[in-house]
Structure 1
Amino acid sequence: MQYSLLGPTGVRVSRICLGTATFGVAPSAQDADRLVGAAVDLGINFVDTADVYGNMPVFDRPGAPPAAEREPAERILGRALRGRREQMVVATKANGVVGLDVNDRGLSRRHIVRQVEASLRRLETDHIDLHYAHDPDPDTPIEQTLAAYDDLVRQGKVRYVGLSNHPAWQVVQALWTADDRRLQAPVAAQVKYNLVDRAAERELAPACTRFGLSIVPYAPLHGGLLADLGVLDREVSGDQRFGAAGFGAAEIALAREVDRLSRDWGLAPYQVSLAWLLARPAVASVIVGAETVDELTANATAADVRLEPEQLDALTALADEPPAFHHRAGDGPGETAVVPDPAG
């Protein structure tokens, strides 16, 4: 397993992060312990969860217990981490709706503090290594959110702060606010990012590269489509796992090309897709929502794959659109472009 620094923290995280969104569905609550144990054996020291994962109807699928009978993913993970907690960097999140009360959501001080306390109980730990604001909250000033996190860091309940699904301008606003108010600043940005969906490259990736934040992509295999075309034969695949639609024709066409290139290079599509993403600027680790030990073991091999520049270029060229903002040497008179190191 290879490791990267998480932003400016000095903490090293495995380049493969274990995602737990479907804990309690796939893997089942009983199989989650074995999956977490396999992750540790593979050298994976980074695990991602959230206060809303696992026991929501959006995760329902045939053959799994209904939402009302499932435990939160955090609770399942907490049990699986017994005896392993100190080996792991644990990330969780808050903002989603977690109850019937009108205030059981958002990024207010009230909600963040209550959810951190609840997450600590479910995870059976005394601290959370990385806590993300799960989504932007237009009703709460960023100053209040960061001040609440600052207090939690000073209390030792949270070590570092991150932003999930925030656009680049809000990430930069948070950095400016933290600097101005002398508050704990975000160290990482979590976002959907893969060969099919490269919107993060338009503004977020350049901002994170410039200001030293790590990007931690979720859905790096686009719901399994970039892992193996066999996913098309599954009853439930892609965003269907979360109650959304399946794959479009353009997405499938791109995946077929990834599959062709991978076979030509003697690699598996999941290795190529993850290795390409891990080579992008600012990407520290990718969240893999493996449902079985075999899937996790296979995906973990991508951390050791190093693609040649021409291979990376061939994959990058598959995208329908280039990023909205692309700078290279010679773009303007007297300008010298700064090209980030692809290794981050």
Structure 2
Amino acid sequence: MQYSVLGTTGVKVSKICLGTATFGVAPTAQDADRIVGAAIDLGINFVDTADVYGNMPVFDRPGAPAAADREPAEQILGRTLRGRRDRMVIATKSNGIVGLDINDRGLSRRHVIRQVETSLRRLETDYIDLYYAHDPDPDTPMEQTLAAYDDLIRQGKIRYVGLSNHPAWQVTHALWIADDRRQQAPVAAQVKYNLIDRSAERELGPACDRFGLSIIPYAPLHGGLLADLRVLDREVSGDQRFQGSGFSESEIATAREVERLSRAWGLAPYQTSLAWLLSRPAVASAIVGAETVDELHANATAADVELEPAQLASLTALADQPPAFQHRAGDGPERPPATTSSDPTA
């Protein structure tokens, strides 16, 4: 396993990060312990979760327990890490809907502190290594959220903070605020990023590279399409795992070309796709949501693959020009933050 430094923290994380979004579904709660144990044996020391992972109806699929009968992924993960917690860099998040009350989501000080306490109990730990704002919250000023994070860092409950699914202008704004108020600044940005979906390269990538944040891509294999075309024969694949749609013809065409090139180079498509992604500027680690131990073993091999410049260029040429970053549909319109003294345009 190869490692990268997480932002400016000095903390080294494995280039393959274990994702837990479907813990309790695939793998089942019973199989999760084997997956986590295999990850540790492979040298993976970075795991990603969230307060909404695992037991939401959006993760339902045929043959799996119903959402009401599943534990939160954090709780499953906490149990699997008993006796080996210090070997893992744990990242979790908040902002998703976690209850029926109007305030059971968001990035307000009230909600953030409550969810950190909940995550600590579920994870059976007294600190969280990396804590993300899961999505932008247009109703809460960034200043309030960052102040809450800074207090939690001073209390020892979290070590570092990151931003997930935030466009470049919001990442930059957060850095302005932190610098102006002498607070702990975000060290990482989590975003969907892979050979097919390269929208992160338009603005977020250059911003992170310039300011020293690590990019932590999720969906690095585009729902499995860039791993193996046999995923098309699965009953559930891609965004269907989260009640989304299937793959487009253009996406499948790109995946076929990745497979053709990979075979010519003596590699598997998942190795080629992950190695390309890990070569991109600012990318520190790719989140792999392996559903079986075999998938995890296979994906972990990509961390040791180094592609030649000509190979990287061939892969980069496959994708269309990266579109402008668009926030995930369904989360409501974004609004610019309130003008504050930390905004240099004020």
Q: After superposition, give the CA deviation of every residue in 1:169-206 in whole Å (9 maximum; x if it has no partner).
A: 00000000000011110000000000000000000000
SS in 2 for 1:10: coil
Q: Gapped runs of 5+ residues in structure 2? A: 326-346
Which residue identity is paired with 1:194?
Answer: N
What's the counterpart of residue 272 of structure 2? Answer: 272
- 1:224 maps to 224
Shift of 1:68: 0.5
Instruction: State how far apart, in whole Å, the 2-side matches of 1:37 and 1:324 are.
Output: 39
TM-score relative to the length of structure 2: 0.93
The answer to whether structure 1 residue 131 and structure 2 residue 131 are counterparts is yes
Matches within 5 A, 1:14-53: 14-53=14-53
> Following TM superposition, by how much is the alpha carbon of 1:315 offset from its aligned partner in structure 2, in angstroms?
0.1
Q: Which residue of 2 aligns with 1:162?
A: 162
Letter paired with 2:200: A
> Segments of 4+ in structure 1 off by > 2 A?
322-325
AA in 2 matched with 1:7: G
Paired residue for 2:321?
321
SS, match of residue 186 in structure 1: coil
Give the aligned partner of residue 112 of structure 1: 112
* Cross-structure match for 1:212: 212
In 1: Cα distance, 2:227 partner to 2:68 partner = 31
Residue 263 of structure 1 and its aligned partner are, at CA, apart by 0.2
Find the counterpart in structure 2 of residue 342 from structure 1.
none
TM-score by length of 1: 0.94
- Kept after mapping to 1: 8 A contact 2:91/2:132: yes
- Residues in 1 aligned to 2:211 and 2:288: alpha-carbon distance in whole angstroms: 26
Is the 2:164–2:190 contact (alpha carbons within 8 Å) kept by the matching residues of 1?
yes
Secondary structure of the residue aligned to 1:120 is: helix
One-letter code aligned to 2:95: N
Check the 8 A contact 2:197/2:322 in 1, yes or no. Answer: no
Supply the distance in 2 between the matched residues of 1:323 and 1:212 (Cα, whole angstroms).
23
What secondary structure, in the 3-state scheme, does the structure 2 residue paired with 1:4 have? strand
Matching of residues 1-344 of structure 1 within 5 Å: 1-322=1-322
Distance 1:209 1:76 in 2: 34
Structure 2: distance between partners of 1:128 and 1:324: 32
Q: Contact 2:199 / 2:322 at 8 angstroms: preserved in 1?
A: no
Counterpart CA distance in 2 for 1:57 and 1:279 is 35
Offset of 1:84 from its aligned partner?
Answer: 1.1
Aligned-partner Cα distance in 1 for 2:235–2:322: 33
CA contact (8 A) 2:200 2:322 kept: no
- Matched to 1:16, the amino acid is I
Aligned position for 1:331:
none
Following TM superposition, by how much is the alpha carbon of 1:322 offset from its aligned partner in structure 2, in angstroms?
4.8
Instruction: Give per-residue Cα distances to partners, 1:10-59, cap 9 Å, x unaligned.
Output: 00000000000000000000000000000000000000000000000000
CA distance in 1, matches of 2:313, 2:111: 44
Secondary structure of the 1:245 match is coil
* Structure 1 residue 323: Cα displacement: 6.3
Structure 1 counterpart of 2:140, which letter? T
Report Cα offsets for 1:98-117 as digits up to 9, x if no partner. Answer: 01111010000000000000
TM-superposed CA distance for 1:222, in Å, is 0.2
The answer (yes or no) to whether the contact 2:109–2:148 under 8 Å persists in 1 is yes
Q: Distance in 2 between matches of 1:149 and 1:93?
A: 12
> What letter is aligned with 1:107?
L
Number of residue pairs the alignment of both structures matches: 325
Read off the aligned partner of 2:252 and give its amino acid letter: I
Q: Does the Cα contact within 8 Å between 2:17 and 2:287 map onto a contact in 1?
A: yes
Q: Distance in 2 between matches of 1:323 and 1:244?
A: 21
SS of structure 2 residue aligned to 1:139? coil
For the residue of structure 2 that corresponds to 1:271, the secondary structure is: helix
**Aligned AA for 1:139?**
D
Q: Separation in 1 of the partners of 2:245 and 2:305?
A: 31
Change (3 A) 1:322 1:223: closer
